[in-house]
Amino acid sequence: MNVLEAERAMGDHRPMPLTLRPPRSHDETALLRMHDQLAEDGFALLQHDGTWDQVLAAVRRESLGVDLPPDRVRCDFLVADVDGVPVGRVSVRHELNAYLHEIGGHVGYAVAPEHRRRGYATEMLRQSVALLAAGGVEQVLVTCDGDNAGSAAVIEACGGVLEDVRTRGDETKRRYWIATGSDERP
């Protein structure tokens, strides 16, 4: 038993080291299961249809910004991995179109139900903001449903400052900005 496992056994619930990585062929079963679980909450984990090889190819194209549909932007779909186990996913969008600026934001994230309340969402968002900062994004827009207190707390823990709450159709979104290198909002 390593130190982290011993601390967890004694009641320390700090998360194990989390890494963000592209999905792999062996992730299919775990991510499809997670997709089905999160669909019950109205969240689409996977953004592409088809066979798993087609999904992975679409993820690679989107990461490169190649052959994007008109409503999509260059985006990294990354698996949140803890000790070899996928616990969630993030979508890191390198730019904003009109919809993303209004409702979607630069980062979308989700944690599988059985892995929640362990600090993973906060670490996923922290790492996503760092990736965007490394790519030159100075202000990261992150949104959450208006009634999602847990996600609002995650965003605020990562430095998010609430700009406003917007409603579009039946969607109400809290819009936060996280500064990465400048105090000015776009």
Instruction: Give the pLDDT confidence of 146-179 residue by residue, as tens digits.
Output: 999 999 999 999 999 999 999 988 889 999 999 9
Class of domain 3-179: alpha beta
* pLDDT > 50? residue 8: no
Q: What is the pLDDT of residue 4?
A: 39
Domain range summary for the chain, segments of one domain joined by +? 3-179
Contact 141, 123 (CB under 8 A): no
* pLDDT > 80? residue 37: yes
User: Among 95, 74, 182, 80, which residue's Cα sits nearest to residue 141?
Assistant: 95
User: Among 86, 109, 108, which residue's Cα sits nearest to residue 24?
Assistant: 86
pLDDT band (50, 70, 90) for residue 46: confident
Is the pLDDT higher at 171 or at 184?
171
Write out the two tokens for 141.
């827009």
Cα–Cα distance for residue pair 71/129, rounded to 1 Å: 22
* Tens-digit pLDDT profile for residues 55-101: 999 999 999 999 888 888 999 999 999 999 999 999 999 999 999 99
Q: What is the pLDDT of residue 16?
A: 55
Q: What is the pLDDT of residue 38?
A: 83
Cα–Cα distance for residue pair 184/181, rounded to 1 Å: 9
- Mean pLDDT, range 37-64, rounded to an integer: 86
